[in-house]
Structure 1
């Protein structure tokens, strides 16, 4: 009887161990599935929160009171998303080609912007040689001056990023028409509210900007103007 009792105890102990192992395995499997589901949800939220963000080149045309027209090609290129919290970030972009038509005629700042890009890329390459550092893409020695010259920041205000604040810099030159003097250089900062929309299908979006341009011609007093801007962009 004692021997049978011991066998019964061992049998029950094994059953308990098997039940505990099954329970632990089930809990671990649930945690793994929950982790995968949470990861998928984060990706979905990230895609949703940035649905109206440009992912490729865009084009814009604007009218600035009383007598200025702007045309530009810009891009965010997925560069420098600055994460504020999970699922929310602001984005930095650049405008490699900008044309301003005003009293002086057509601006030539795009030529200087292209020259500046190659110049600062060369400086950056030399700095990497000296420091021995390696990185993909242009470094801060290129991006910082380029942002001051023709950069932009988009700050989403709602989920999906279809409404937000866009802040944009322009360093406009008229050197070819006017020569090198103070009247030939204009620095502007555009602060606008952007409304974006796109079809239910496709990867092309549209936006409308309206806001204030703060402008300083190096030979004149500071002034501000109102502007409206229409554009389209590619989104991934």
Structure 2
């Protein structure tokens, strides 16, 4: 009997996208809380690249047993935020030029298509939600809150594409690039440019122009790709595997 092929994504990716457009509640379970806390710590740089994550220490800090910590680390490994290296332990993944380029090349290929396919199915409520989120993005100061609003803004389009695998892929890739976007927002800057690009996407969507929505989405991703890539190359932010730290 042949071994079943395991998917590269889980349907959590689809359900999470649904939560972004208001169709589902966030994961409030213990596992979900731990994943959120650890993800936020990695995105904010509190747990830097190369840090060794000790399950026992994390369980004590979070006030839980080791089992939900282990499960949370496995979920974060699927998002590319940590690396599980067998007996060597679990480490916060390094920021990598090669990783950045592959992720953004994939996003630039898939996300504009999803937005183009989704636009004809977007209703008035979703347009109003996009406008509300666009205003929120203009005022939001916290990078993590900005990223959540940004994800919801784009989800109004691609979540309507009627392509479950494509939607899951878009969401999966977005999560994998979250650390680079956080770097873009908190260190590199460029919020005004991002807001201008969101305005262009929204305008193209209002005009019901699928080709323009796809082009604006591609430009939006490609520009962010170039911004972060230039910063990584300039500051040589790839961290060698030998530079490891224990969790405090």
TM value normalised by structure 2: 0.21
TM value normalised by structure 1: 0.22
Q: Which has the higher contact order (CA 8 A, sep 6+)?
A: 2
Higher-Rg member (1/2): 1
Higher strand share: 1
Higher helix share: 2
